[in-house]
Amino acid sequence: MKKILLSVTVVVALVAFTALPDELTIGAAIPNATKKMKDISGKEYSFADVKKKNGLLVVFSCNTCPWVVKNQQVAAEGYAYALGKEVGVIVLNSNETSRAGDDSPARMKEYAASQGYKYPYVMDDNSAMADAFGARVTPECYLFDKDMKLVYHGAITDNPKTPSASTRDHLKVAIDEMVGGKDVSMKTSKAMGCGIKRKS
């Protein structure tokens, strides 16, 4: 009986894994550029609205994931760095199954205030954008150039487990290279975090 239950669990896990959408590839155009998403202020924003002269940083995040919490400082530094380089920033919360709890609009508003967000923090209804990007975890970064083509996808630094011990700021380096007109030297890295809570 235990073997049967284990087999069923493995099959269900494999089906859930294989059901995840394909990841956005480097060089791909940003999906759904003009689709509006509701911010914690009640306003609606699209990626096209938030993009600045040199591009756009899209981050899938949330309020309570331990990986998000431990990377709060480097995330804030990365977002501020992007804005300083004329790269827009938008943060998406795709945790659809937590809307009545940790990722409710009220909790999102509280979290954004605690972190001093100066950029839109929007609800990704039904995880539609997460599906379009193939996003898996929080936090997970996507950097787009001025033509809204993907140039970097992955983690903020080379050490998501212990950000204070990181030796390379993947996101900042990618921003510098992109804004400087160079080819981004490290186009992808492994984003580590909590799985996005999609509805089944």
Q: What is the pLDDT of residues 108-129, one digit of tens each?
A: 999 999 999 999 999 999 999 9
Contacts of residues 14-23 at CB distance under 8 Å and 24 or more positions apart, as own/partner, are 16/200, 20/134, 20/136, 21/131, 21/132, 21/134, 22/134, 23/133, 23/134, 23/135, 23/136, 23/153
Q: Is residue 156 part of a domain?
A: yes
Q: Is residue 14 part of a domain?
A: no
Residue 166 is predicted with a pLDDT of: 93
Amino acid at position 156, single letter: I
Residue 31 is predicted with a pLDDT of: 98
Domain count, the chain: 1
Stretch 171-187: mean pLDDT: 98
Residue 21 is predicted with a pLDDT of: 85
pLDDT digits (tens, 9 = 90+) for 24-73: 999 999 999 999 999 999 999 999 999 999 999 999 999 999 999 999 99
Q: What is the CATH number of the domain that holds 143?
A: 3.40.30.10
pTM assigned to the model: 0.89
Q: Is residue 33 part of a domain?
A: yes
Residue 7 is predicted with a pLDDT of: 45
**Beta carbons within 8 Å of 186's beta carbon, 6+ residues apart:** 152, 170, 173, 174
Residue 13 is predicted with a pLDDT of: 41
Q: Is residue 2 part of a domain?
A: no
Residue 20 is predicted with a pLDDT of: 79
Q: Is residue 180 part of a domain?
A: yes
Q: Is residue 11 part of a domain?
A: no
Categorize the per-residue pLDDT at 5 as very low, low, confident or very high, splitting at 50, 70 and 90. very low
Least confident of 21-25, 171-175, 178-182: 21-25
Q: Which of 105, 134, 117, 120 is nearest to 44 (CA)?
A: 120
Q: How many Cα atoms occupy the beta-carbon half-sphere of 151 within 13 Å?
A: 28
Find the radius of gyration of the CA atoms of the chain. Answer: 17
Q: Is residue 12 part of a domain?
A: no
Host domain of residue 153: 24-195
87 in Cβ contact with 69 (< 8 Å): no
Stretch 68-94: mean pLDDT: 98
Q: Is residue 132 part of a domain?
A: yes
